[in-house]
């Protein structure tokens, strides 16, 4: 008698990520939101009686992509303040716009818009950092998307909170309310060393250790940030955080553009992670992170889109390709970040940074069925020698055809499921009119 299954997927290639390489003519079997089995297609059809069988000829099945750093609600600021350096971008345009317009409704609509864009591009999980995480969580749940909600912390007031203690209290309250949602997890999200005092960092570190949560913060994004830290504290930002005890396996440093050899070694020794955001770093003229050195030192890293206000796409296929090319160009080593390593950074390595690698990031029995089908049979993909190479250097988000999260279909033949695109377009137009009034 055949064993029951909910879904039997028959792609031309399965790309499990771990182990590296591809499996031709294999099947992935899904039951109760988990990957039940990965085995040759003929054996799968003989062994399992699936409620649904889907053939995917010419397609590669990969783990869902993991966006290691984003500000999802800022999708509503897309194109608002282009062609400015970081601090001018923040102080002259973004912070004033946030002060005037950011609210629960803004965050809910902006996050849902971002979730729709990410899902359509094969991103199944996002590490988010923004105000009103409750509203963001509601939007992710509405979209059926996996997310790590950053409990944002700043010293200065906003419409969301009045001071650091208030930010922390509000964030912890949201965590208490939503912590049992299986698609949601949490991280402390102090904005950056230049916006957080030592005492606040100390409290965050204690809470993170008590609750076993990651700490997700911007670090060494610009040269000016480092010089300001030297002027104010007498040390560079990363050294300051090391002295405060924040560095460790739960630390995710976003950007890490301007780090020296000693700092890379420091991150490696403490088991830190880096969220590499190449498009945002280039667009804001912040620089290029030394990814080849991260890899050589054993620093785990994944890719982030950052927010749509500074990218302006939430597109991890673009980040994978750009990161691989930049690593080669800067290091002078064509093998600095090979395709398989880039795909792993966008999936399993990013999941590891979020403490989710036991659940997502690779196609293996027992893991959650967060899966993406990518069409590789178009003329632009021919001839085919190596599907993994094509996924990084040839394919784009427009080639994503199907997306599943926890075995539930979210994108069906390039059409979003249960998300009303017309309604989202209308909401974006509403916020555009408010922002330009």
- pLDDT number for residue 85: 87
CATH topology agreement for domains 3-63+361-406 and 72-147+221-353: no
* Burial class, 429, CB count within 10 angstroms (exposed 0-12 / middle 13-18 / buried 19+): exposed
Beta bridge partners of 151: 130, 188
The continuous run of DSSP H or E covering 215 comes out as: strand 215-219
Peptide bond into 312 cis (omega under 30): yes
Q: Give strand pairing partners of 218.
A: 254
Banded pLDDT at 84 (limits 50, 70, 90): confident
* Dihedral angle of Cα 171, 176, 178, 179, to the nearest 10 degrees: 110
- How many other CB atoms are there within 10 angstroms of residue 111's CB atom? 33
Q: pLDDT digit string (tens) for 237-277?
A: 999 999 999 999 999 999 999 999 999 999 999 999 999 99
CA 72 to mean position of chain CA atoms? 10
Residue located via tokens 């922002």: 435
The CA distances from residue 122 to 119, 125, 249, 401, in Å, are 5, 9, 27, 9
136 in Cβ contact with 108 (< 8 Å): yes
Dihedral of the CA atoms 419, 425, 428, 430 (nearest 10)? -120
Distance of CA 362 to the CA centre of its chain: 15
User: Measured between alpha carbons, how far is 195 from 77 in angstroms, rounded to an integer?
Assistant: 22
pLDDT at 89 over 90: no
The CA–CA distances, whole Å, from 6 to 51, 217, 307 equal 5, 40, 36
* Residue 49 β-bridge partners: 4
Confidence of residue 62 (pLDDT cuts 50, 70, 90): very high
Q: What is the pLDDT of residue 204?
A: 98
pLDDT digits (tens, 9 = 90+) for 161-173: 999 999 999 999 9
Q: What is the pLDDT of residues 124-138, one digit of tens each?
A: 999 999 999 999 999
What is the bridge-based pairing of β-strands 146-153 and 123-130?
parallel
Q: Output the pLDDT for position 8.
A: 98
Q: How far apart are CA 148 and CA 252, in angstroms?
A: 12
Interval 18-23 mean pLDDT: 96
Of 306, 343, 299, 353, whose CA–CA distance to 323 is shortest? 343
Note the pTM of the prediction, 2 decimals: 0.98
| Domain at 72-147+221-353: CATH code | 3.20.20.140
**Closest listed residue to residue 62, CA positions, set 401, 433, 424:** 401
**Rg of the chain over all Cα atoms, to the nearest angstrom:** 21
Q: Cα dist. 328→21, 31, 292, 321 in Å?
A: 21, 41, 8, 11
Domain 3-63+361-406 listed as CATH 2.30.40.10: yes
Contacts of 127 by beta carbon, 8 Å cutoff, 6+ apart:
66, 67, 68, 69, 70, 147, 148, 150, 187, 216, 252, 275, 304, 350, 353, 354
Give the start-to-end residue ranges of the domains of the chain: 3-63+361-406, 72-147+221-353
What the block records as the tokens of 109 is 């609509």
């Amino acid at each position: 008698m055949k064993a029951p299954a909910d879904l039997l997927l028959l792609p031309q290639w399965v790309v499990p990520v771990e182990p590296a390489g591809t499996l031709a003519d294999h099947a992935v079997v899904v039951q109760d939101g988990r990957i039940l089995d990965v085995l040759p297609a003929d054996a799968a059809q003989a062994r399992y009686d699936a409620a649904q069988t889907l053939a995917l000829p010419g397609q590669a099945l990969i783990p869902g992509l993991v966006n290691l750093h984003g500000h999802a609600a800022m999708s509503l600021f897309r194109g608002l303040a282009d062609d400015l350096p970081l601090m001018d971008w923040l102080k002259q345009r973004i912070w004033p716009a946030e002060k005037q317009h950011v609210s629960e409704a803004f965050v809910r609509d902006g996050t849902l818009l971002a979730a729709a864009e990410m899902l359509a591009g094969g991103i199944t999980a996002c590490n988010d950092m923004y105000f009103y995480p409750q509203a963001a969580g509601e939007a992710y749940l509405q979209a059926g998307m996996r997310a790590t909600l950053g409990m944002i912390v700043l010293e200065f007031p906003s419409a969301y909170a009045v001071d650091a203690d208030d930010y922390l209290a509000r964030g912890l309250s949201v965590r208490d309310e939503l912590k049992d949602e299986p698609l949601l997890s949490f991280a402390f999200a102090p904005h950056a060393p230049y916006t957080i005092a030592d005492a606040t960092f100390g409290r965050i570190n204690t809470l993170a250790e008590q609750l076993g949560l990651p700490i997700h913060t911007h670090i060494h994004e610009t040269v000016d940030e480092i010089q300001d830290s030297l002027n104010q504290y007498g040390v560079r930002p990363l050294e300051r955080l090391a002295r405060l005890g924040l560095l460790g396996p739960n630390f995710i440093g976003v950007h890490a553009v301007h780090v020296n050899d000693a700092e890379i070694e420091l991150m490696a020794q403490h088991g830190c992670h880096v969220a590499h955001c190449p498009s945002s770093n280039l667009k804001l003229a912040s620089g290029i992170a030394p990814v080849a050195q991260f890899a050589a030192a054993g620093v785990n890293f994944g890719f982030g889109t950052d927010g749509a206000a500074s990218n302006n796409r939430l597109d991890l296929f673009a980040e994978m390709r750009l990161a691989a090319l930049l690593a080669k160009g800067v290091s002078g080593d064509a093998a600095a970040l090979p395709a398989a390593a880039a795909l792993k950074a966008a999936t399993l390595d990013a999941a590891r940074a979020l403490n989710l690698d036991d659940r997502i990031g690779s196609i293996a029995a027992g893991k959650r069925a967060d899966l993406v089908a990518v069409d590789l049979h178009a003329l632009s993909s021919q001839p085919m020698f190596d599907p993994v190479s094509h996924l990084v250097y040839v394919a784009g988000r427009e080639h994503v055809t199907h997306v599943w999260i926890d075995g539930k279909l979210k994108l069906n033949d390039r059409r979003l499921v249960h998300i009303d695109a017309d309604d989202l377009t209308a909401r974006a137009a509403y916020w555009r009119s408010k922002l330009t009034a």
